[in-house]
A and B are shown apart, each in its own frame.
Chain A
Amino acid sequence: MENTAKDYSHIKGWGIDADPKNDPTYPMKHRTNEEHKGYSWERPTQQQIDVELLHSIERPNVTAVFGTSVPPSGLSGMIRRFAFKYSENSYLHWLPLIVADRVNVVEGIVDDIQQGHFPNIFAEKGYKAEWKHNRMGFIQKMVVIGALTAAAVIVITHKDSKSENDD
């Protein structure tokens, strides 16, 4: 196999951004002393904190702006508050957040039902695209899921009836 090409005239712009001084690579952080003095820069106006906001304990303050998309709430919110007692360096920060995310999914379904909206899982999973572009694969997947579900139901009901008979 040819190891190097020599003529690059067919490649528009070849080498136009080459910089022999880019070694080891750019951009590197340069010492300016500024960051060594902590928050020495003129900080932007502080956004008003009008929702519950969890912030990393690796910083002393809240950033000048922040998102307010989904404030913590419910059981998942309690878990998130616990997680933010620990630094980003700790598993006790990240693992509870992952657990909270899963709890939050259940809370989302409960919320939907309470608001009279039964979630359309088929639509939310975008299966219409799978049906349109990968019909055979989709049917196979559904058959496998159906078979596994049926097998699980049979095993569980068989165990239940057996334990009733034992009683």
Chain B
Amino acid sequence: MLAMDYRGPKRVRVTQKPMPEIKHPQDAIVRVTRSCICGSDLHLYNGNVPDTRVGSTFGHEFIGVVEEIGSEVTKLKVGDQVLVPFNIACGQCAFCKQGLFGNCHESNPEATAVGGIFGYSHTAGGYNGGQAEYVRVPYANVSPTVIPEGMDLDDAVLLTDVVPTGYQAAEMGGIQPGDTVVVFGAGPVGIMAAKCSWLFGAGRVIVIDQLDYRLEFVRNYAQCEAYNFKEMEDPVLFIKKTTDWMGADVVIDAVGAEAAGNTMQTITGRKLLLQAGSATAVHWAINSVKKGGTVSIVGVYGPTDNLIPIGNALNKGLTIRGNQASVKRLLPRLIEHVQNGTLNPKALITHRVPLKEVAEAYRMFSAKLDNCIKPVLIP
């Protein structure tokens, strides 16, 4: 089968690989019909995630058709069209039982701080991902969900990560009706976090980024304010001024390790790898949120350390929340939102690229070429 093949930082290609096999009675083999490149794939692509081995296949946002099932799979059958949440979750451990499906304790032997994730290095379990023609899906009874009849497949593929992550970013913000919410990052997750903030009753939503085409998109899509930090002297000062000098009630970091905007963070975090990515967004979040406010982190960072003003977080009495989205927990509500038109995820998709052009797709997404917001690979 054809599959994306990581060869080193900023080097990927498509290679013929062996077909995946059933390795566990709860496995399924899925023929992939759509697979996205996620902003967090860029951390792998840039070589910033430890234990990303040459020969790995990335891809944690995918949908497809069930081709084969293991002996213990009872909730799916061959031929089902499924959307596959990016977390691999057993449904039986103490964490899954509490709805913390992003924190499963039975899916990643290589690290305890993160659950298993498809195609996200050996630090996240060593699974091959869905940027391929076929993929092995463990725990097929738990998270994979049959795509509801009539649902657009482009909507379905974005329900595997982008929509739940954006929604949970807003949820973890603990937004109270009337709150001012600032979202750092106008990538797909930031756009969705801004859109979902309204569902929780936000009174004002502001998005900050450096790419004008994305700011223009989010302004229209999420009906929010959007500003370019390159046109500001200081984004934190800007937020203070525009909130009557108080700061925002809730600030969401939807950027993660690839953040721009602070030279010291960029050099130490992205170029020298002295920290687990550039922590510019979370740094700004802590400093621009109101005293007693909430910082919600869904931007992905590596497993080592980051330079952030933790003293300010203490002195301001902040609540800091973060997690990988618990996709399975959120899916029923989010499917409802998509089906009744409250959310329109497919509008985020700007590019459809054949799997065999995966190297060009990564370059385009990484370098933000051709006004790219969300590329989808079609095997």
> Contact residues of A with B, CB < 8 Å?
1, 3-5, 8, 10-20, 22-27, 29-30, 32, 34-35, 40-45, 47-48, 53-56, 58-59, 61-70, 72, 76, 80, 84, 88, 91, 94, 97-98, 100-102, 104-105, 107-109, 119-121, 123-130, 132-134
Contact = CB atoms under 8 A, between A and B. Distances in A.
| B interface majority secondary structure | loop
Given A27-B100, A121-B11, A134-B367, A43 B54 contact: no
Contact of B108 (A44, A66, A125): A66
A44 B90 contact: yes
A56 B99 contact: no
A104 B92 contact: no
B354 interface: no
Interface stretch (B77-85, B193-201, B262-270, B281-289): B193-201
Nearest to A103: B54
A104 B24 CA distance: 29
Contacts of B108: 63, 66
B90 A130 contact: no
B109 A62 contact: yes
Contacts of B128: 67, 69
Contact of B198 (A14, A20, A108): A14
A58 B112 contact: yes
Closest 7 CB pairs of A and B: A126-B363, A67-B126, A67-B127, A25-B174, A18-B201, A105-B8, A108-B54
Interface residues of B, number: 94
Interface of B: 7-13, 23-27, 47, 50-57, 72, 88, 90, 92-95, 97-100, 105-113, 116, 122-123, 125-128, 138-139, 171-178, 180, 196, 198-201, 203-204, 223, 242-244, 273, 294, 296, 303-304, 319, 321, 323, 326, 329, 333, 337, 341-343, 359-364, 367, 369-370
Contact of A64 (B56, B90, B196): B90
